[in-house]
Amino acid sequence: MTKNNMWVAGMAAPLMSAMLLQFAASPSVKANAQPSAANAAVKIDNFVFGPQELTVPVGTTVTWTNSDDIPHTSVSTEGVFKSKVLDTDEKFSYTFTKAGTYSYYCTIHPKMTGKVVVQLRLKLELALRWKHFSCLVASVCE
| Cα three-residue angle 42-100-88, rounded to 5 degrees | 20
Per run of 10 residues, the mean pLDDT along the chain (length 142 residues) is: 50 50 43 58 98 97 98 98 98 97 98 97 70 62 57
What DSSP string runs through 7-19? HHHHHHHHHHHHH
pTM of the full predicted structure?
Answer: 0.64
d(CA 81, CA 71): 18
